[in-house]
Amino acid sequence: MNTILQDPTGQAYKTLIQVAMEVCDEFILVKRDQMELESEGYELLERLKPFLKEIVKDDYWPGTRLMGHYADVYFFRCSPDAVDILLSYSTSLYSWVQTRVPDDLCFLRQGQPWLINTAHERESHIVTDVEEELNRLEESGLLFRDLSVFYP
C-alpha cells in the first residue's frame, strides 16, 4: 500500500483521476444520511447517472466505518467521459467532503480498493503493485518510492 502524503491538486490530481479511470472498473461516492448535501452535490450525482451501477445503503466503504449511521454508497462505472465531470466539481482529492459534494471519492478494481480516500481525514492510499501504474504516479509527483530524496 502506498500512502499519498499531501492533497493532490492541479496536474497531479488530474493525472490521478485519469490513471484511476483507466486501471479501475468502478468508482464510488458517498452521501451520508446524517448530513445535508448541497445542490451542487445533487447536480453532480445527476450528471453521473449514465455511469451509475447501483446505490447501496451501508455503514462501510473503503477507509470508513460509521457507528450508528448509514450512507448511500453510489457505485459508478469507470469511463473516460466521467473524468471531466469529476474534475469539474473538484480540484483536489481531499475536497470530496459532504456537504458541498458527496464524500470520499474512491476507485475499485474488480471489487477491490485501488484508491482509498478518506477526504475529511486528509488520508488516502493507493493499493497496487503494477509497475506501470506506480511509474505514472511517481512521474506525476503523487508517489515517492525513493525516499532518499528526503534524506540526503
CA atoms of 126 and 130, how far apart (whole Å):
11
Q: Which residues contact 4 (CB under 8 A, 6 or more apart)?
A: 93, 124, 125, 126, 142, 143
Q: Where are the domains of the chain?
A: 2-137
pLDDT tens digits for the chain (152 residues)? Answer: 666 657 889 998 999 999 999 999 999 999 999 999 999 999 999 999 999 999 999 999 999 999 999 999 999 999 999 999 999 999 999 999 999 999 999 999 999 999 999 999 999 889 998 989 888 888 887 776 554 444 55
